[in-house]
Amino acid sequence: MATKAPEFQATALEAIPKIASLARGQFRTHKTKNVEWRKTQLRKLYWALEDFKPQLVEALKSDLGKSSFEALLTEVDWVKKDCMWMLDHLDSFVKDQKLGSPDVPATYSIMNFRVKKEPLGTVLIIGPYNYPIQLLLCPLVGAIAAGCTAVLKPSELTPACAMWTKELIEKRLDSGSFSVVNGAIPETNALMAEKWDKIFFTGSAQVGSIIAQKAAQTLTPVVLELGGKNPAFITKNCGNLALAARRLLWGKTQNAGQVCMSQNYVLIDKDLVPTFIEFLKVAYKDMFPNGAKASPDLSRIVNKRHFHRIKKMLDDTQGKIVMGGELDESELYIEPTAVLVNSVNDSMMQEESFGPIFSIYPVNTLDEALNIANLIHKTPLSLFTFGNKAENNRILNEMTSGGATINDGFFHGAVNTVPFGGVGDSGWGAYRGKASFDSFTHFRTIAETPGWAEKLIRVRYMPYDFKALAF
């Protein structure tokens, strides 16, 4: 039986330095270097998620109107799978990597060059609201696996999830090594005043920039997982337009489109537009036979501020709503909506929608589509191509993005073990799978010079003797 989440309570500001110092102290005990200790923490996290499953599912419902199906698939079970995968592979990840040819020339092979995988230290993980469990705890899986201690800062916009996360982490994982600080800007600022060995931030580009600037003052490395204005390209040679419509609509119905990597706009050959819109409507009808509002599967917008942000994009558009368009503030409900636009300056093209709405922009050629996409955002988090093989390759070649999916919505980000990250201003660094371990690991090169090798390397000592180079 799920119980209601404890009432949201921000962590006292004066407690934050102590929490950080405790986590640093725990790291200095060196216990996290023990791989068995890390595995125990991963198992504890797995079982905590299993035991708190009903509470988390209910919290995701109350914070975001998330269905149990999505709550399990994309949040609770997702992180559990991460724990299992990491447990299966950790022994091989932690092994020293012996360096040989071509990294080490034959002349130096006697020196036993190797790379030792060391934990970075004590890290801060700051999460966003849209996947409050997954996007906070997956980086934690990487941090634990690498042997770091960590302090987590969940989003205050999803208070029930934040409170349960604090409970499950602090009750179940090693005390003091892993803590949760709840709160908003003042609490994050207090955390940023502490010294960390890495900061892992997921959220908006605007806040990411603040975090990166503050981190730069202490030369603290950061991973930034940010957002972007992600394009989808549909060319004349798109093989199956009905499938493209269904798959792109999927990208906007998951978590009510509050997904960093879903498409913001669709650049489509102008002759295909009427049929594409018809196929979107068919897909909509299949997914929501009684209308989206009646569906138990569609999430709600996280709060009024974001509801009004998305509503404003629809209010300001000069385009035409061709699918959806219903809003109900009392339920924070926004219908999956497509808007046909004809200007790159349209509100629907200029901002990241981060909601169940997207625009359709007709183009004459692929050249035009690529020009527009590169103009709107040169380094989006993701892009999607629906063309023939040559066109798909051309799009991937002429426009970069954090990740990309050919012939689908955001599938490159839907598998928990493949690397995920942005590029340029959509993010720095990657995680998931082995990349999560790497992200919190220092790859320390070690050389060992045997005493007996002295006669082989004596050339380095002064006075230099050019003749000795001939050995």
Interface residue with ligand NAD, options 72, 207, 243, 396 (CB under 6 A)? 207
Residues 6-65 that bind ligand NAD (CB under 6 A): none
Q: How far apart are CA 264 and CA 384, in angstroms?
A: 11
- DSSP annotation of 115 reads E
C-beta atoms surrounding 393 within 10 Å: 13
190 binds ligand NAD (CB under 6 A): no
Beta strands in 313-446 (DSSP E): 320-323, 327-328, 333-334, 337-340, 357-363, 382-386, 403-406, 420-421, 427-428, 430-431, 441-446
260 binds ligand NAD (CB under 6 A): yes
Residues 397-456 that bind ligand NAD (CB under 6 A): 422, 427
Interface residue with ligand NAD, options 15, 184, 375, 390 (CB under 6 A)? 184
Residue type, position 6, single letter: P
Segment interacting with ligand NAD, rule: CB under 6 A, options 77-85, 97-105, 129-137, 457-465: 129-137
Enter the tokens of residue 82: 């991460």
Segment interacting with ligand NAD, rule: CB under 6 A, options 58-66, 98-106, 223-231, 323-331: 223-231
- 8 A C-beta contact, residue 270 and residue 364: yes
156 binds ligand NAD (CB under 6 A): yes
75, 225, 352, 391: which is the annotated catalytic residue? Answer: 225
225 binds ligand NAD (CB under 6 A): yes
168 Cα distance to chain centroid: 22
Sheet-wide strand order for 122-126? 178-180, 149-153, 122-126, 198-202, 222-225, 427-428
Would residue 194 show up in a list of annotated catalytic residues for this protein? no
Question: 83 Cβ partners below 8 Å, 6+ apart?
Answer: 42, 43, 45, 46, 49, 141
Interface residue with ligand NAD, options 314, 381, 395, 399 (CB under 6 A)? 381
Q: Which is nearer to ligand NAD, 11 or 155 (CB)?
A: 155
165 binds ligand NAD (CB under 6 A): no
* Main-chain phi, psi angles of 98, to 5 degrees: -75, 135
Q: Which is nearer to ligand NAD, 126 or 256 (CB)?
A: 126
Enter the tokens of residue 178: 């892993």
Interface residue list for ligand NAD (CB under 6 A): 126-130, 135, 153, 155-156, 184-185, 188, 202-204, 207, 210, 225-227, 260, 352, 354, 381, 422, 427
List active site positions: 225
